[in-house]
Amino acid sequence: MTKVKVSGSCHCGKIKINATLIEGKVIACHCTDCQISAGGPFRVIVQSNGEDFEITGGAAEYVKTSADSGNHRIQGFCGTCGSSLYACDLNKNLFNIRAGCLENGSEFSPKVHIFGGSSPFWLKEIGKSSWLEKGPGSKQMEFD
Ligand SMILES: [Zn+2]
Ligand SMILES: [Zn+2]
């Protein structure tokens, strides 16, 4: 099994993440908790075991939340810039790392979408919208 090493950081760069991922675990979560805390329609996560996950540069701040299942979770974030970094169980055995804070985060294509029932209807039609390469007025993108 190939080991995929990743690194990343929060927006301000204070907190760095180094991890080795569990192969094939790329999940898009559309639950309302992820929508609220990410401020978007879904969140993409990759997974790492606790012993393969390392934070450097400073301690992450965290809050404890409880999921619908009743499970308690630790949600780690940067106390300086507020970037969301990871979530894990209270024993820190399994880390869900926010793919968006990884250097090559956009390369991770979700293998499964969970909580699709709370996904906004327009997400399934996202390719039909107007896509611009950069900001307003930039080049129109073409899809096959
Ligand atoms: Zn930060
Ligand atoms: Zn979620």
Per-residue pLDDT of the chain (144 residues; tens, 9 = 90+): 678 999 999 999 999 999 999 999 999 999 999 999 899 999 999 999 999 999 999 999 999 998 777 889 999 999 999 999 999 999 999 999 999 999 999 999 998 999 999 999 999 999 889 999 999 999 999 887
Residue 138 located in a structural domain: no
- DSSP structural state of residue 20: E
In a domain, 135, yes or no: no
* Residue 132 belongs to some domain of the structure: no
Domain count across the chain:
1
Query: Domain range spanning residue 51?
Result: 4-120
Whether pTM > 0.85 for this model: the answer is: yes
Is residue 54, in this structure, part of any structural domain at all?
Answer: yes
For residue 33, the CA-to-ligand 1 centroid distance in Å is: 21
Q: Is position 142 within any domain?
A: no
How far does the centroid of ligand 1 lie from the alpha carbon of residue 119, in Å? 28
pLDDT of res. 29: 95
Kindly report the CATH number assigned to the domain that includes residue 73: 2.170.150.70
Answer yes or no: is 133 within a domain: no
Residue 86 belongs to some domain of the structure: yes
Q: If you search the block for the tokens 């969301």, which residue do you land on?
A: 84
SS3 assignment, position 101: helix
Q: Which pLDDT score, from 0 to 100, does residue 1 have?
A: 60
